[in-house]
Structure 1
Amino acid sequence: MPADEPTILATSGGAVSGSRTKWEVGPLTSYAVELAGVTGRAPRVCFLATASGDNPQLIRDFYDMSQLAGFHGSHLQLFTMPNVEDVREHLLGQDVIWVWGGSVAGLLAMWQLHGVDAVMREAWEAGVVLTGVSAGSICWHLGGTTDSFGPDLRPVTNGLGLVPYSNGVHYDSEEQRRPLFQKLIADEVLPAGYATDDGAGVLYRGTTMVEALTERDGAAAYWVERGPDGTAVETRLDTRRLR
C-alpha cells in the first residue's frame, strides 16, 4: 500500500534501547510505518544495513525489533552477494524501507554498484516510505557530514538527491558535526539543509519538508542556510514530540 505521495522521514534516531532485546523500534520509525497507511495486515518493512557492511548482528537485532513491533520484516544485504533474486522487485514490494547507519560513503558506493540507488528513487516515487538513521538519513539528500573516511569529519556530496538539501546528523552529540555542517554551507560546498539532534527527524512529502519530529525530550531539528554576509544562519524549528 503506497503512501499518498513520496515520503521520507530522515532521522538521527528511530531505535531505542530495549528491555528484552538490544533495540526496540522507536517512535520515529513507528511513525514512518504509520505513514505507509497499512491496514488489515502486518506492514512490510525492509531493513538495510549496507552502511555497516551488512553486519549479521544488526540484521538479527532488526528481526527481534520487527517481531516485537508486529512487522512483516525482511532485509536486503549486498555482502557478499545480494540475498534476494530480484532487488528491484523486493524493494518495490515493501511498505517501508529502513536504512541503518555506518559509512554513508560505503553505502552510496555499494548501492550504485548494485543499482539500488535507481531502485530507491523508483520506490520513493511509487510511495514506499523511506526512513533511516545517520547514514540512512544523509543518503536521501544531496550530501552531509561523515566520518566514513576517518575520525575527522569530511563532506559527502554524492547523495541520492531525492530531496534538494544537505543533511546534518547527530547535531548535538558529536562535537565536529555542527561547526562543520555550518562551514560547508557557508563555503557553498553543501547547499542549505536540515540538521537533526539525536532522537529527532524531518519529514518530507515530495521534496518539501513538512514537519520536524522528535522521540526524545529536548531534541530538535534545524534549518541551516548561507546568509547574505556569507556566514551560516541556523534556525531552530518547531519540533513535535512523538510518544
Structure 2
Amino acid sequence: MQRILAIGGGGFMMEDTPSPIDRYIIDATGRTRPRICYLATPSGDLPAHIDKFHAAFGSSGCETSHLAFFRQPDARSIPVFDLRPKLLEQDAIYIGGGNTKSALAVWREWGLDAILREVWESGVLLAGMSAGAMCWFEAGLTDSFWGSTYRPLDCLGLLPGGCAVHYSSDPKRRETLHAAQHARMVPPSIAIDDFAAALYLGTSLDRVLSWQTGSTAYKVYREGSKVIETALPAEHISQ
C-alpha cells in the first residue's frame, strides 16, 4: 500500500505536548515498535529538530533514526553511503519543515528523490509537515525563495497537483494561492491548515484528519474565470 501523510502544520515540531498526528503515524505503521527515520534536510539538519524528533517518537516506543547531510553522523543516524537500503528497511519516513527548495536540491544531488519514490512504491509510509508535506506533490506554494511573497515550486511529483500548508494561519497564503490558480501558475491544489493533515492512498486523497476545531483542508482550483475553494470534511483524531 502506497501512503503519504501531508501535514499542514503541527506535531512534535510545533506542539509542546504529545500530538495526535504523531500517534497516528505510529499506529498507521501497524508495528509494535516501528522503525521511523527523520529527514531534517529542509532545516539544514538543525540539531534541535533532530533531538525533538528522537524525543517524541523514541519515548513512544519507536526505533528512531535520522538521515543528515549537513552534520557529522552520530549513533542515531544512518550513513549517507548506505541510505538506500536503510530507508527501505523503515516502516515510516518523516520529513520536517524548513526550506523546500533547498531540500529538493540536496536530495536531487544525492539521488534521494529517486530513492524516496522507490521507498514509497515499496509500501513505506511517507509523512511530513510543512516543507515535508509540500515536497511530495507536483508543485508547492512556498516562501523558500526568501522573498516577500510565496512562489510556486516544482516538487517531487509523487502526488498530482499542488499543495499549500499553514493555510488559514496566514491570509497571504490564501491570497497568493488564489492568484496563482487564476494565472494557471500551479495545478489544482490542496491547501492544508495547521492541525490538519491529508492522507493519500496511492495518488488519491483518502481522508482529511484534524485535531483542532475548525482545522481542515481545501480543494483550490480554477473553473472558467473563477477560483473555487471547497472545504473538505475532516475526521477528528485525538491522542
Same fold (TM over 0.5): yes
Unaligned runs of 5+ in 1: none
> 3-state DSSP class of the match of 1:165?
strand
- Alignment partner, residue 53 of structure 2: 62
Give 1:34 shift: 2.0
The match for 1:26 is 19
Mapping for residues 130-141 of structure 1, pairs under 5 Å: 130-141=126-137
Quick one: which of 23, 46, 49 aligns to 2:40? 49
- Distance in 2 (alpha carbons) for counterparts of 1:13 and 1:168: 11
Note the C-alpha offset of 1:69.
1.4
> For the residues of structure 2 that align with 1:43 and 1:76, how far apart are their CA atoms?
17
2:205 aligns with 209
TM-score w.r.t. the length of structure 1 is 0.90
CA distance in 1, matches of 2:61, 2:232: 32
User: 1:240 — aligned with what?
Assistant: 235
Q: Residues 199 and 216 of structure 1 are in contact (CA less than 8 Å); yes or no, is this contact kept in structure 2? A: yes
Give the distance between the partners of 2:194 and 2:56, measured in 1 at CA.
20
* Structure 1 outlier segments of 4+, above 3 Å: 22-25, 80-83
Quick one: distance in 2 between partners of 1:23 and 1:127?
31
Against the structure 1 CA distance between its residues 180 and 242, is the aligned structure 2 distance closer, same or farther, given a 3 Å change threshold? same
Structure 1 match to 2:93: 97
- Shift in Å at residue 71 of structure 1? 0.9
Secondary structure at 1:194 match in 2? strand
Contact kept in structure 2, 1:14 and 1:25, CA below 8 Å: no
Instruction: Give the deviation of 1:153 after TM superposition.
Output: 2.7
Deviation at 1:17, TM superposition (A): 7.7
* CA RMSD in angstroms, aligned pairs only: 1.8
Whether contact under 8 Å (2:88, 2:119) holds in the other structure is yes
Deviation by residue 1:19-47 (Cα, 9 ceiling, x = unmatched): xxx85552223222322222xx4101101
Counterpart in the other structure of 1:173: 169
Does structure 1 residue 200 correspond to structure 2 residue 191?
A: no
1:52-131 aligned at under 5 Å gives the runs 52-80=43-71, 84=79, 85-131=81-127
TM-score, normalized by length of structure 2? 0.92
Q: 1:94 to 1:6 in 2, by over 3 A?
A: same
Does residue 1:149 correspond to 2:145, yes or no?
yes
* Conserved 8 A contact 2:138-2:155: yes
Answer yes or no: is 1:37 the counterpart of 2:30: yes
5+ residue gaps, structure 2, are none
